[in-house]
Amino acid sequence: MRPNGDPDDSAKTTAHVTTQMKIESVALFYVIAYICLLIIHLYVRRINDTRLEDQQRRYDEMSRKAQTSSLPKSKDNLLDDTTGFQEETPNAFFRRSNIGGQVIKYSLEYSISYAALFHLEGTICGTPGVTKNVLVTYTMALMYFLFETTGTACGWQVPLLNVQALQSMITLFTGLVGILLGFYISTVVSRWWSLRNDTLGHLWGAVNDICLFNGAHFNDKSWRPLRTLVLRYCMSSYELTFMQAQGVDSELWRLVGRGLLTQSEADMLAKLPSRSQVLWTWIAWIFRNLYDKGHIDSMILQLYYQKCAQARGAIGGIFAYLDTQLPISYVQLLAGMVHLLSFVVALEVGIANSRYFMIQHGKLDSSEALEYRPLVKLIQLTLVPLFYNGCLEIGRTLSNPLCDDFQDFPRHAFHSFMLNEAQGFHSTFEVPSEAAQAIIGALPSKK
């Protein structure tokens, strides 16, 4: 029997305490990381919910403005502000709309800096769906970690899975998912740009061109009510396009409240389908009657008809994109592989951390310790599901940019820009410039 205070016993006790401290340190780190991620998820979800509530409140307030007459509000027969848009005080990252809260423009320099890593709002890290999926991945890893370590401590016969096989599976899935995600993101971004440039952009261009023609052909101040009527129908069509994309185009009272429609016009539209496109028939009818009354000739009428058809076609193109989604089998396969990859990563990280604990307990060969580095594995557990789920979220957001998400098209900002441009086009030469009058006045008339 060894005497009390034997150095060998003391060394064993110290080693045991050191081992326990290592185990407790790694376990504590794991739990702290999990709690931090949970707090971030709850914080992000709260920010998102608050933004949506504030956005809906402002939109409702704007839509419920009382009408004092049967006609939309106007000043000097020009449309008043029909959107209530104002740009919020910009931060270092982006400028955004006060209504809807969408980004108008962001700072490219800031977005690629290290500081952007700590900015949650408007980023993938600030998306509740992504943080929830990362949290689920953490939960799966923690569950297997507890299962294997607890089972080993209790003397159960826990089957030890092959970590190398799981790592090979992760490598295979990463390559396959990377290829599929590359095609997916490329296709979605291409469709997103087509929606902005080839459809919404053509609608915007048609509105501006019609107002340009009106400003040149009907420039006298007496024509201002007609020009404003046409513009009002144009802006109503623009708003109804967004409303139809969100499935709320039946809420015509909002446009009445904003001065874009009269109640009788809203009642007429309520009975019709494709309301955003129907309004271009109304606009074309106005120009046909101007032709019948001799105010425009057949060539000018043809130009107006072309622009009306361009605008209606642009709106039809928008819904061709929105109503023709990517094949469900492709998207479901891609999402399934991303979730399966996240599951395998969670399993591999849970196993690696439990093996590290076993090594510290002397249950496994300590020469394998370098293969099971808890900190590196936890970083992998965070970044892999964050990246791949983030790519899926980007695809979801860009698939319908006419909604109210943070990164969707800034509907109310575009409305304000379009309205101001159009009123400038159709009113700028009510009183032509002196230089233009002098030069044109000096030319002989051929009539």
Residue 344 to residue 342: CA distance in whole angstroms: 6
Indicate the average pLDDT of the chain: 80
Prediction pTM value? 0.80
Lowest model confidence (mean pLDDT) among 233-247, 359-373, 385-399: 359-373
- Bridge partners of 96, per DSSP, are 103
pLDDT value of residue 135: 84
- CA trace torsion 37, 39, 42, 43 (10° rounding): -110
Residue by residue, DSSP assigns 257-286 as HTTSS-HHHHHHHHTSSSHHHHHHHHHHHH
Percent of the chain with pLDDT over 70: 74
pLDDT band of 265, cuts 50, 70, 90: very high
Q: Which residue has the tokens 């977005």?
A: 111
Residue 299: how many other CB atoms lie within 10 Å: 7
Q: Which residue has the tokens 């800031």?
A: 110
Which stretch, 130-134, 309-313, 394-398, has highest mean pLDDT? 309-313
| pLDDT top residue among 85 and 145 | 145
H-run or E-run covering 321: helix 298-323
pLDDT band of 196, cuts 50, 70, 90: very high
Residue 310 to residue 316: CA distance in whole angstroms: 10
pLDDT (average), residues 299-307:
95
Residue 206: how many other CB atoms lie within 10 Å: 24
Q: Where does residue 195 rank: exposed (0-12), middle (13-18), buried (19+ CB within 10 A)?
A: buried
pLDDT value of residue 8: 52
| pLDDT top residue among 77 and 357 | 357
pLDDT (average), residues 378-401:
89
Burial 79-102 (b: 16+ CB within 10 A, else e): bebbbbbeeeeeeebbbbbbbbbb
pLDDT (average), residues 150-164:
68
Residue 165 to residue 151: CA distance in whole angstroms: 22
pLDDT (average), residues 234-247:
94
β pairing state of 94-96 and 74-75: unpaired
pLDDT digit string, tens, across residues 35-52 = 766 676 666 666 666 655
Residue 90 to residue 73: CA distance in whole angstroms: 30
pLDDT value of residue 137: 87
pLDDT digit string, tens, across residues 54-63 = 655 655 655 5
Q: Which residue has the tokens 């096989």?
A: 165
Lowest model confidence (mean pLDDT) among 1-10, 90-99, 250-259, 354-363: 1-10
pLDDT value of residue 33: 64
